[in-house]
Structure 1
């Protein structure tokens, strides 16, 4: 006797529930960000053996405690309201103050800073100073001028909006006039409310991704290299990441015998991650990703430092999903190579075995295809 549709619905409801949660970041319905997030959430549910029940609805009563995939990092207050208590409750992260989830914590305040947000930890900034590029976080025009003036002694500086993604919200400034123009465009009110990062500019930059993910009983860590591509408007933007993912923590990565540049990136990211756990009470994350830059400043000095953290679904998540699925299905596999790509335009050739997470025409971005692909895997004893 075939099961009825009611039986199928009951069975689905009995499974653990995975939900997409929109914190409020503006994602247009049908846009590439929203559609990508939805598809990745569906695949995370599949790996967990759970039921993807769409978007979180606070008016609904869920039969099982839901697992959330938020579109942004949650605050402690938001997490409590949603019932998120630990890394087993979400694919993302939780912070005590909104600024902790942004680029701002990568740098200290300038000497004599006049403005700082509630909860700012000067002790954390002191502990991580050797792990990041020369730079400052500022919340006033006076502090911005002082920070830029100190950094210009070593060459040009880059100013960054704290929540910019994929290189957006950045500008290169070489003198006072250029700085003032950028500050005028931002406005003093936004500067005090949001903050701004002022950082040493690097040329010939290479950006590494270093991260760790926890899903149920699985812990995996990775390193990788990011790639740029040209979008439909002729701008260089994020184009994907190649990852090497291993079972276990950051120490499992270091046992691989990494090249010196990769070893340095992993060491800085893992030390920054450890500092966060003790520097800001209440932080926890099941998806912890750090961008680490390596390049030359205007004096010719080689610099390497953590740029920012991401405790939410990001550009490398497709590759993370590929690795987690492999680890779940193949218990003897301990290492996975996987990659993500974002390709603009209509002429897109997919590699064999590629998994498409978005393919369409976005209202702002134009024709765009996003996919991930599985590469080499290694098994114990092989």
Structure 2
């Protein structure tokens, strides 16, 4: 598995790593990952060598930018990834930890669970997630959904759905039964399913942290929506407030109250994952935290899911690290990513484009990041 390596006093090598069996990654995603990995290499003062090739010979040390969270820990070690200093992303011991199903508890002690499931994690996070359950069988999903229907409509979320895809809403028992039958027992046993109380008027915060070469940046912000070339509403970028340092540094800023709550919830979730799933580590963490109201007008807020891999906000994350590296006295900054479908837009001053072209699947697309000074609200 591991490539041939040779020791040297010269700087190391940064490579992109892609799961060969992963057919989901589109051309614009591959190009984005490559462009951001090259910026990481410049930030580190290392060479960028493109896609990792196990048959090639590389100079040590190697630093990986994987397209996905790596599973399991032994697999990462065979690549030469021993800790967070060897990658931009994360490593977890079991597949379900990298999906939405980690977020919620099982219905009860009799519910089916995958190998490695931690009930301890759910005890840590019960107050920082939305009302809901994870299920790994039709029987348990039906029981969990029936209980949630007592409070209102239920949102069903496939474990690996991205950007709102793979979701449906059941408003009664008959719809729940129909939607579970469409998913099937095989998928639930393999990947699991999340069932959450359905919310309206949702605002989603992005909370995260990145660490490269002893430099840490922690952030909170919001996501923008746009329309793709088919007229569908999709992710359009992120607007982030980023502090040099850990969660404490971010919370020292004059953030709005709802944003402070989102940061605290994500921080609890982050610490719980590291404490509950031994062997996992991550240098890039991102948490979606939602705030909305149920059909009775009650407000709920909590972490939806995690990302321990390069993601949509990573252009802004890396731009912030570049700014902190260039100016050691800089303590906070605003950074954003923007995705524009269709004809190339007129770019704002300071924009760093990391993809612009015609993707065979999504059509013309431009993606860029930029930074602005932070000002207290």
TM-score range, shorter chain: over 0.9
Contact 2:227 2:234 in 1 (8 A): yes
- TM-score, structure 1 length as denominator? 0.92
The correspondence for 2:299, drawn from 292, 302, 308, is 302
CA 1:27–1:321 in 2, change beyond 3 Å: closer, same or farther? farther
**Residue 6 of structure 1 corresponds to which residue in structure 2?**
none
**Residue 314 of structure 1 corresponds to which residue in structure 2?**
311
**Residue 156 of structure 2 corresponds to which residue in structure 1?**
159
**Residue 111 of structure 1 corresponds to which residue in structure 2?**
108
Aligned-partner Cα distance in 2 for 1:303–1:199: 11
Contact 1:140 1:192 in 2 (8 A): yes
**Residue 11 of structure 2 corresponds to which residue in structure 1?**
15
The correspondence for 1:57, drawn from 49, 53, 58, is 53
Contact 2:241 2:334 in 1 (8 A): yes
Contact 1:201 1:297 in 2 (8 A): yes
Name the SS for the 1:127 alignment partner: helix
Q: Which range moved further: 348-357 or 298-307?
A: 348-357
Contact 2:138 2:184 in 1 (8 A): no
The correspondence for 1:144, drawn from 118, 141, 156, is 141
Name the SS for the 1:130 alignment partner: coil
Shift of 1:14: 3.5
Q: Can you give the 5+ residue segments of structure 1 that lack an aligned partner in the other structure? A: 1-11
User: C-alpha offsets along residues 350-372 of structure 1, whole Å, 9 cap, x if unaligned?
Assistant: 21221111112222222211111
Name the SS for the 1:72 alignment partner: coil
Aligned-partner Cα distance in 2 for 1:59–1:268: 43
Please identify runs of 4+ aligned residues in structure 1 that moved more than 3 A. 27-30
Shift of 1:114: 3.5
Give RMSD over aligned pairs. Answer: 1.7
Aligned-partner Cα distance in 2 for 1:17–1:66: 5
CA 1:175–1:234 in 2, change beyond 3 Å: closer, same or farther? farther
Aligned-partner Cα distance in 1 for 2:139–2:25: 40
Which structure 2 residues correspond to residues 1-382 of structure 1 after superposition, within 5 A?
A: 14-24=10-20, 26-27=22-23, 31-75=27-71, 76-111=73-108, 113-346=110-343, 348-377=345-374
Q: Which range moved further: 190-199 or 107-116?
A: 107-116
- TM-score, structure 2 length as denominator? 0.93
User: C-alpha offsets along residues 37-91 of structure 1, whole Å, 9 cap, x if unaligned?
Assistant: 1111111111111110011111122121210000001120211111111111000
Contact 1:13 1:51 in 2 (8 A): no
Aligned-partner Cα distance in 1 for 2:56–2:153: 53
User: C-alpha offsets along residues 315-371 of structure 1, whole Å, 9 cap, x if unaligned?
Assistant: 100000110000111111111101011122225232122111111222222221111
Shift of 1:299: 1.2
CA 1:375–1:84 in 2, change beyond 3 Å: closer, same or farther? same
User: C-alpha offsets along residues 222-241 of structure 1, whole Å, 9 cap, x if unaligned?
Assistant: 11111111222222211111
Shift of 1:13: 10
**Residue 3 of structure 1 corresponds to which residue in structure 2?**
none
Aligned-partner Cα distance in 2 for 1:97–1:155: 32
CA 1:300–1:332 in 2, change beyond 3 Å: closer, same or farther? same
Aligned-partner Cα distance in 1 for 2:24–2:106: 35
**Residue 4 of structure 1 corresponds to which residue in structure 2?**
none
Name the SS for the 1:19 alignment partner: strand
